[in-house]
Amino acid sequence: VINVVFSKANKQKALVSTGGRSVQAACDWLLFSHVDDPFLDDPLPREYVLYLRPTGPLANKLSEFWQQSRLLCGKNKAHNIFPHITLCQFFMCDDNKLDALCEALQNTVTRWKSKFPMPLPLEPYTSANFIGLFVEEERAEIVKKFAADFAMEAATKADVHVEPHKKQLHVTLAYHFQTSHLPVLENLAQSIDVKLGCDWVAVLFSRDIRFANHETLRVIYPYAPQNDDELELAPGDFIFMSPLEQTNTSEGWIYGTSLMTGCSALLPENYIMKADECETWIFHGSYSFLSPVSSPSNALTAGAVDRRYQEDQGPGEPPLHSVICQPIQPLRLNSQAGPQKRCLFVCRHGERMDVVFGKYWLSQCFDAKGKYVRTNLNMPASLPQRSGGYRDYDKDAPITVFGCVQARLIGEALLESNTVIDYVYCSPSLRCVQTAHNILKGMQQESKLKIRVEPGLFEWTKWVSGTSLPAWMQVAELAAANLGVDTTYRPHIPVSKLVVSEPYETYISRSYQVTKEILSECKSKGSKVLVVAHASSLEACTRQLQGLSPQNSKDFIQVVRKIPYLGFCACDEVGDTGVWQLVDPPILPLTHGPNHSFNWREILLQE
């Protein structure tokens, strides 16, 4: 029997590191996710910062500017932190003094409710590499006095040193951007009505002082360590990386520290992507100057963690639950709420037979007369009849039984998230048609929505072996196989327009062209379009819609290699601008791994 005992400092650290959300969150952080954290007993304080954050109509407009500027011009340094006005420099506070610090802020806001300038006048300002909104000087001096008052209260209540911000108070809109982007960013900034309603709230955030100068990365794919010096990765976790620690790493690997576990080790570079600095900050409370009630968040105590831990312990038993801190889940779209936007969903097909069972799977399953008999439970019980004979399956493989299950899971998830699909398009590859059909079955829409088979959605033809394209099944054959295709649909790019071994530029242009024509065809407001095609389609069908230039073929291939079966992405139209942006899908990701063929004779029957 293992009885884990933690110090009061450990429990306080768990509370602070989870933002005081709940006893359960603190217990999970302490007992499970950070049980092997080598810095668990480290007494280092955290760094805190006090911001003014806008709420209401102005906040919505600033958020819209953030999204559009990032979409049209890419990320600049302003995107590392949400819209705000800085009231003080980062300062240090011990974990056991956080309650006193929050009380100091609440007391200061209470004193200033009647004196704080509302509204807060903002004046646009633009230079060669900076665009922002500056607080009118006279009102800014009042806000600075509030910050100075908080500094004095924090010193008295929590014994911490706070240095109020002495520079001009402002909201940074764009910073360190390319010179060529200035006209676009300036035009977007001019559309912000600075007189919109707003309640400025004082918010307190903290960050781990050890990683203040590290690069923040987000884990996008799970990874199970193959060696002792490798880090386990879970989607939703964040990695802190210091350039100084990369001297002894091999190509394709970096050395980093997990936010979720606190452990440090090597990890594969292509399993992560850059994240914004503030995504790992902990929120400790917001205090309104208008509302009668503010919302401090750190209401839990180390004693509460003690009590919860004891409740989870039976007599002489370790905790019954064994849940680690869960990764941050993607935002869920609600197709029934708010203004209806046009959405494009792009999904890769399910697991394919020729990849699972090898390129000689036909000889395993078909006899000389072309009769099909499956030799593995993951092979379909039957296959559709083809006018060209079974050998056409060689270049146009079906999906496996598990591929069908994968697709239905996606459909069921779309159904559970209340996502409505208005139109379905797919590549002519059988694996894509079958995937689309099973997604609709999961959504319980297979009898209502018809699949539009569009040859223009086929993958880069350079990847097709041999000197000819696949002999795809005719639409009539697919309909006869009960795959729910639209027999009246006329493709935008017919099969006759596809060529073998097309140049990369031709494939990218074709994908963009057919996507635009599909969206034009489905131009009704709020329409939701699902495209089921290939791994390459998630990049090729969405990148130029966002106003971005195509990647070179080498980088494109690296992206495609990372997209798993049923990889799913979502793209929303930005207003009526004709520009689209990638957004969080309405469903959770689907993770699955290989299951090698099991031969009981070889494994269990030993002479």
How many alpha carbons fall within 13 Å on the CB side of residue 65? 29
State pLDDT tens for residues 365-379.
998 888 999 999 999
Instruction: Label residue 296 by pLDDT band (50, 70, 90).
Output: low
Q: What is the dihedral of CA 433, 436, 438, 439, to 10 degrees?
A: 170
Where do the CATH 3.40.50.1240 domains begin and end in the chain?
Answer: 343-351+399-583
What mean pLDDT do residues 335-350 have? 76
Instruction: Label residue 330 by pLDDT band (50, 70, 90).
Output: very low
Whole-number pLDDT of residue 304: 47
State pLDDT tens for residues 486-525.
999 999 999 999 999 999 999 999 999 999 999 999 987 6
> Which one of 46, 165, 342, 348 is the catalytic residue?
348
What percent of the chain is predicted at pLDDT more than 70? Answer: 89
Active site residue 534: yes
What mean pLDDT do residues 142-150 have? 96
- d(CA 22, CA 13) in angstroms, rounded, equals 13
Contact 109, 201 (CB under 8 A): no
> Which one of 349, 408, 510, 543 is the catalytic residue?
349
- d(CA 106, CA 289) in angstroms, rounded, equals 10
Is residue 38 predicted with pLDDT exceeding 60?
Answer: yes
C-alpha torsion sign, points 247, 248, 249, 250: positive
State pLDDT tens for residues 76-118.
999 989 999 999 999 999 999 999 999 999 999 999 988 998 8
Mean pLDDT for the chain overall: 86
- d(CA 87, CA 167) in angstroms, rounded, equals 10
Write down the residue that tokens 């006018």 correspond to: 387
Where do the CATH 3.90.1140.10 domains begin and end in the chain?
Answer: 44-209+282-291
Whole-number pLDDT of residue 508: 96
Structure tokens at 24: 């359960």
- d(CA 234, CA 258) in angstroms, rounded, equals 10
> Which one of 34, 207, 431, 534 is the catalytic residue?
534
Q: Which fold has domain 44-209+282-291?
A: Cyclic Phosphodiesterase; Chain: A, (3.90.1140)
The conformational region for residue 302 under phi > 0 = left, psi -120 to 50 = alpha, else beta, is alpha
Contact 547, 72 (CB under 8 A): yes
Instruction: Label residue 577 by pLDDT band (50, 70, 90).
Output: low
Instruction: Point out the least confidently predicted range of 4-8, 233-237, 380-384, 417-421.
Output: 4-8
Asked whether the bond before 589 is cis by omega within 30 degrees of 0, the reply is: no
Whole-number pLDDT of residue 428: 97
Instruction: Point out the least confidently predicted range of 109-118, 127-136, 312-321, 368-377.
Output: 312-321
Instruction: Point out the least confidently predicted range of 64-78, 289-303, 371-385.
Output: 289-303
Architecture of domain 343-351+399-583: 3-Layer(aba) Sandwich (3.40)
Whole-number pLDDT of residue 606: 56
